[in-house]
Amino acid sequence: YLVVALSTDEFNWNEKQKKCYFEYDKRKQLLEAIRYVDLVIPENSWEQKVSDIREFKIDKFVIGDDWATKFDFIEDETDAEVIYLPRTPEISTTQIKKDLEAK
């Protein structure tokens, strides 16, 4: 069962100063269309990760390796294993945004 936490537009702006190309509802819809995704939940704060892991009985917390070590505390506070996956080098949201602006 795959649960995806998707940052809300407000969280992206308030915490990361990032404006999303697609609004939350559209991004959620795109994720829900992936057959492997069972549930998409809103991410409103950094602090909710532990409570979400407990609520949804998550056994593996997976995030990009650009966050390496930043979420190690999750293993101490929950039963979930933290896995940092390498980013796909040829896929960059930043580059996609730049390409779209150039058109």
User: Catalytic amino acids?
Assistant: 16, 18
In angstroms, the CA 31 to CA 25 distance is 10
Collapsed DSSP state (helix, strand, coil) of residue 6: strand
Measure the CA angle with vertex 67, ends 102 and 77; round to 5°.
Answer: 145
Per the structure block, which two tokens stand in for 102? 């150039």
For residue 37, CA distances in Å to 3, 25, 79 come to: 7, 15, 22
Per the structure block, which two tokens stand in for 92? 């960059």
